[in-house]
């Protein structure tokens, strides 16, 4: 079937998705243009911001791709104080970002859980709860997820990394701390508690096929998630997966494949929130813009105090590490205007798909 015919279909089957993911050149452009059109028709040209606060790089896990894995001794470990996190949130509010996202290496001890709960209460006090709060703090018990929800978090990101169990265990150690089924259970718990739940995968992993990527997209559709984040895999020299760096697609291919994943998902789930991940900008200076033009509608500018950013390198050469928050602010506004998009300030920017579902 020709690309145009597939693009005219109401419902994409797995073989359609694989065909779209294999498009090149002009056919790929058709796909991207269609996704942009669908996004503009359903969500307008708005881009939502989430000020990213990287709370700590201390992690109990050791994912084989991640630079801050516990088995990497070359990382200087840090944790922001409660006050530092709240300060970042205040800055987000001042800059007109309607939302913050708190991300951290995974910890589940009581001290950590209580600290997050207190931080949530304090952020909620800023201007009468005007900031939206997304958490990205890994796997936790259902009870902890519930506690944080009650304390004011309303979105949670937990990437599945790959929905293919076999591939999952090729990119994670096989032990109880990295259990594929536990991860699935966590995503289900988040959905049932009522979080706007986000998940996602890395694109261009060793051993990853187009069929696996198509299954990832179908997984997002079946779970009916509200948000998705997908970015290119970037091999980190201090991690075991670096050994396969010469067996993965080229930078350009990984970028294009990420754009195709975003575009196809926009066709499949027209009203979800999709982030233009920083990893895109890391491998291509125009990566974030390209992701927005392929169907993404969220950007997460970094608000972490600059002195810590060098230590939160989940992958090498991360973009914007030396930019001051105020610089990111004006840079982003200009960059989005240049591609005909408009940042929506002072708004939570909830997923339209989620809002409709829960009405
Ligand atoms: N390359 C690209 N993305 C990565 N992540 C972790 N390590 C890498 C890497 N080497 C992504 C994972 C994780 C998110 C916070 O960052 O998908 O969920
Ligand atoms: Fe920290 Fe994967 S290494 S969650």
Ligand 2: distance of its center to the CA of 70 in Å?
Answer: 8
The candidate with the shortest Cα–Cα distance to 229, out of 187, 180, 194, 278, is: 278
Please say if the pLDDT value at position 324 is more than 90: no
Residues 6+ apart with CB under 8 A from 69: 59, 61, 62, 63, 239
pLDDT 10s digits, 246-263: 999 999 999 999 999 999
Residues 6+ apart with CB under 8 A from 65: 171, 202, 205, 233, 235, 236, 239, 241, 315
Q: pTM above 0.85?
A: yes
Mean pLDDT of 231-240: 98
Q: For residue 136, which atom of ligand 1 is closest to its CA?
A: 15
Ligand 2: distance of its center to the CA of 71 in Å?
Answer: 10
pLDDT reported for residue 16: 98
> What percent of the chain shows pLDDT beyond 70?
99
- 262 CB burial (10 A radius; 0-12, 13-18, 19+): buried
Ligand 2: distance of its center to the CA of 106 in Å?
Answer: 6
Which band of pLDDT confidence, cut at 50, 70 and 90, is reported for residue 320? confident
CA-nearest residue, atom 2 of ligand 2: 63
pLDDT 10s digits, 39-48: 999 999 999 9
Using CB distances shorter than 6 Å, the residues near ligand 2 are 59, 61-63, 66, 68-69, 105-106, 138
CA-nearest residue, atom 13 of ligand 1: 159
Element containing residue 232 per DSSP (H, E): strand 227-232
Question: 162-185 burial string, b = 16+ CB within 10 Å, else e?
Answer: bbbeebbbbbbeeeeebbbeebbe
Residue with tokens 């996602």: 200
Question: Which tokens hold the place of 12?
Answer: 């994409």
CA-nearest residue, atom 3 of ligand 2: 69
CA-CA distance, 29 to 32, in Å (whole number)? Answer: 5
């Amino acid at each position: 079937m020709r690309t145009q015919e597939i693009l005219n279909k109401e419902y994409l089957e797995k073989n359609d998705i694989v065909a779209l993911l294999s498009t090149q050149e002009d056919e790929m452009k058709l796909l991207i243009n269609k996704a942009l059109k669908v996004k503009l028709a359903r969500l307008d040209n708005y881009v939502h911001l989430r000020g990213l606060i990287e709370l700590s790089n201390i992690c109990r896990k050791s994912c084989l791709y991640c630079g801050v894995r516990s088995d990497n001794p070359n990382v200087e470990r840090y944790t922001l104080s409660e006050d530092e996190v709240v300060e970042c949130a205040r800055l987000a509010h001042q800059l007109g970002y309607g939302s913050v996202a708190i991300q951290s290496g995974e910890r589940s001890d009581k001290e950590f859980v209580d600290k997050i709960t207190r931080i949530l209460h304090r952020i909620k006090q800023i201007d009468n709860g005007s900031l939206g709060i997304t958490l990205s703090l890994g796997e936790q018990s259902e009870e902890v997820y519930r506690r944080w929800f009650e304390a004011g978090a309303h979105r949670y990101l937990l990437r599945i990394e790959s929905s293919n169990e076999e591939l999952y265990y090729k990119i994670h150690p096989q032990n109880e701390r990295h259990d594929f089924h536990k991860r699935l259970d966590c995503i289900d718990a988040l959905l049932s508690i009522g979080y706007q739940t986000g998940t996602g995968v890395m694109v261009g992993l060793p051993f990853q096929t187009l069929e696996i990527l198509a299954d990832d997209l179908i997984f997002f559709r079946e779970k009916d998630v509200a948000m998705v984040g997908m970015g290119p895999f970037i091999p980190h020299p201090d991690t075991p997966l670096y050994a396969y760096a010469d067996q993965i697609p080229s930078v350009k291919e990984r970028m294009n494949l990420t754009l195709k994943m975003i575009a196809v998902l926009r066709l499949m789930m027209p009203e979800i929130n999709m982030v233009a991940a920083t990893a895109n900008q890391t491998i291509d200076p125009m990566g974030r813009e390209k992701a927005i033009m392929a169907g993404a509608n969220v950007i997460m500018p970094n608000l972490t105090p600059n002195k810590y950013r060098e230590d939160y390198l989940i992958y090498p050469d991360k973009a914007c590490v030396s930019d001051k928050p105020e610089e990111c602010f004006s840079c982003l506004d200009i960059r989005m205007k240049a591609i005909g998009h408009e940042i929506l300030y002072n708004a939570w920017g909830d997923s339209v798909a989620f809002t409709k579902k829960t009405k």
